[in-house]
Structure 1
C-alpha cells in the first residue's frame, strides 16, 4: 500500500465512514463488465469442463477417470457461479447468446433460470430478515418460535438445515428444491424445471445404455454431487456463521444486511478460482452487479469493506457453522439448540 493510499484510508476512517447508499454508490465504478474478459472466463471454463467430462469416459485408467470426475465437479461449481453472475447481469448483461447459453446451463445444472431468478432475487432483497428470508435460502427461526412450533414444523426446519441435507444437496436442494417442488407448485411458470428433470434422466439413461453404470456414476453422479454439496455449503455458511446478524423489519437496511449478515469466506487461491470468488459475499450482496473477477478490487479499494465478518473452510469453522440452529433474540446471535454459538 502506498503512503498516499494509506493517508486516504486514514482520512476516510477518521472523518466520515461511508454507509448506506453512499457505500453502495462507492462500488458502482466496479460494476462494469468487460465483455471479452467475461467471455474468456465462460468459454475457457466450459472447455475445461468438457475436457474433464471426456476424461471420465476416455481416460485409460480408473484412477484417471476418477480424477477427471472430481475435476468435473469442481469445474461445474465454477461454471455455476459464472451462471449466477450472468443471472444477476453482472457479466454479459446485453448478450442474447450468453442468455441462451446460460439458460441451457441452468437446465443441465438442475437450476433452471425461472426458479433461480425468482428465488435468488428474493433472497437478495430479503437477506437477513427474520421473516421472509426463507425463500431462496435456508430457513431461520427464533428460539421462541422454534420452541412454540409444532413437532412436525420443528422436524422440517431441522431437516432443512441438517448437514446431511447440505451434503446431499444434489437431491435435496437442486433436484427437489430447484426442480420438482417449483414445478409441482407452479407448473406453468416453472415448466423449465420439468425439462431439467427429464433431460437429466435422459442423459443418465443414455450413459447407462451406451457406456455403462461406471460411466454414469463418474460422468453425472459424482460431478453433480461434488458441485451441489460444495455449492450448498458455501451458500449456507455465507449466511449462517457465528457472528451473523438477523433483523426484524424495523432494523433492516440493504447495506447492513450485506455487511452484518454475509460472510467473507476466506479460501486459498485454488478454491477461490473454482468458486469464482463467491467468498467475497458481503461485497456481492452490497452490489450484485459487480463481476466476480472484480470483487477483490472492491475489497482493496474501499476501506469500509476490509473488516468483514469472516469464516473459512477449516474443519473447525465448518463445524461452528453447521451447529447453528436458531436465532436467540435476547443474545442477538445464532446459537445451537443447547444455547451456545462457538
Structure 2
C-alpha cells in the first residue's frame, strides 16, 4: 500500500478508524470518513467542469513479474464503453437489481459499481467480505430480489452447491469471469437456475474489465466442447496473432491482441513495460493494441477459445498472480538465497 500511494501520488486519501494509521504519509490530504463533518457535505452530484473522455478515471494495480505492482491507468472513455455495453448485455428493467460484492482492489468491482449507477437500477451492497460467504449471498439475493450477479467460477461453484441457491428465482443474468467456466458448472447452473442467462466474460485489467463475452441462453443447449470466451464486446477488436504480429489462420493458436475503446492509457511510471505490452495497431490507424499474453484460437463459429498463457502468470480465485512477483519478494529477504514458486 505504501508503494501504491507513493507511485500514484493521490491528491487525497480516504481513511477511517481502521486505516488512518496504516500509512505514514504526512503530506497527502486525508479525508476521514468517520469525521462528524463528513455527513454535513453536499448530498447532490455536482457537475465537474472541463471533464473530458480521455481524462484519468482511476489507477488500479495488478501483480508484476518483477515484484512490484503495475498501476493501470483507466480513462473515463474506457469505463463509459464498459457500462454502455453492459446495458446491451443485460437490458435494465423495472425489476433489475445488481449485487455489489467485489472488493474495489479487483477491477470487476468497477463494473458492479458504475453500470447500475449509470443505468438507474438499484445497487445492493453486500457486507464487507460478504463475497466469502455463499450462504449469505444466496440469502441477500432472495431478500433483495437481485437480478444480476457476478461470480468467479470457484465462488459460483460454492454458490450452486448450496440447496438454497435454487430458490434465487429473481436472477435473470449470471456473469462469470476470472477463470475457466467448465461444462459441468454450466450444466449445474442450468439445472438449478434454468431461467438465468449465463455470461462467460473475459478481459485483462489493461482493457477495462471485459473485452469479450459468450452467452448461454436459457433455451440453448450446453455445448459438449470447452466453453468459449466468445466474441468482442461493443467497440472492441480482437486479433489472434503470431510471434511476428501477423494474423494466424482460423483454428490456429496465437496470442490474443486487444484493440478498441476499452484499451487503457497504459502503465503508470513504467515506460518499458508499457512499450512491451501496448503497441500501435497495424490494422486500424490511430488504434492501440494490448498484448494479452493469453493464447487463444478462433473457432469456425467466430468464438474464441482460451488455451492458456505464454508466460507463468496464473489466476487464483479470479486474481492475477505472477509467481515471479512472489519469487522476487522472497529473494529480497536476507535469509533467503534462492527461491522457486510453484502452483
TM bracket (short chain): under 0.3
Q: Is the helix fraction higher in 1 or 2?
A: 1
TM-score (ref. length: structure 1) = 0.25
Q: Is the strand fraction higher in 1 or 2?
A: 2
